[in-house]
Amino acid sequence: MYRALLLSLTCLVSSAANAIEYQLPTDGSNIVGTPNYYEVQKGDSLADIANKYNVGFLGMMSANKGIDPFLPAPGRLLEIPTKVVLPDVSHKGIVVNLAELRLYYFPKDDASKVYIFPIGIGRVGRETPSMTTTINEKVKNPTWTPPASIRKEHAARGDILPAVVPAGPDNPLGDYKMRLAYGHGEYLIHGTNKDFGIGMRVSGGCIRMNPWDVEWLFPHVALGTQVRIINQPVKYSVEPNGKIIVEVHSPLSKDESQIGEKKTLTAPKQLIEDLNYDNDAYQVLNKALDDQSGIPVVLN
């Protein structure tokens, strides 16, 4: 049964310099992609599987609660979060939804497509802020000048950073950076030289991408491209057939005391109104708000 299900679904697999392309619906829907499933093989880790499908690590964990991330049981069928409710925001340029740890790219020259990437964002205490801005600099093979605050943090751990880190394999920015015209220019979209951290809150505030993803995105994004960073843990869509579908993500921790704790969520007021006193739908919604799986759920 599992193998039949696997064969019946389209598998979205990423490779170097090739982005996953989603067709935008033309019927008024606000949902892209299809569900995918993967049967765990011996030696797999959740990070390996996330990379295979180009989704985030925490997103995989949320969609498959109770799974050992390092040694998932062979033969177990995992759900891959490749069906997505689009954020409630203008479909233009780059959209980053912090709560779901995803970056959306809506190409200016093709309104029929969207590209979706897993990202790493600022850790607690160095949060990536919400903003509307633009790309104002693009650099291939960048150097990295660690801010004084970062150098101080590393020095406290006995790790002395140089004033400037040259381009190359030791550069944490990877091979590409795009600077945001926000604040003093301290926020970047960039690659990484590490093999972890995508789909997690690990950066100093920048948007971190897989090397193969930023390699693809860099030449497609022009200077002046709009970048909108939002925080929407609850997304929903009223579909053309009247069905209401919700996708709920765990809200970001605001301070260290909340790390690892389950946080409560309330539904947007408009969603409550759209349910129109459907008690069964309310019950499904409350379960989705509690589960916070990141998987779209049909409410009615």
Q: Which residues are catalytic?
A: 190, 206
Residue (of 273, 238, 233) closest to 253 by Cα position: 233
Cα 134 from Cα 136, distance rounded (Å): 6
Of 96, 92, 95, residue with least CA distance to 109: 92
Token digits of residue 73: 């049981």
DSSP code of residue 199: T
Residues 189 and 180: beta-carbon distance below 8 Å: yes
With contact defined as beta carbons under 8 Å apart, do 76 and 140 qualify? no
What Rg value do the Cα atoms of the chain yield, rounded? 20
Tokens of 225: 């491209």
- Tokens 């920048």 identify what position? 206
Closest to 94 measured CA to CA, from 80, 79, 105: 105
Helices (H), 29-74: 46-53, 57-63
Residue 180 is inside which H or E element, if any? strand 176-180
Residues 6+ apart with CB under 8 A from 66: none
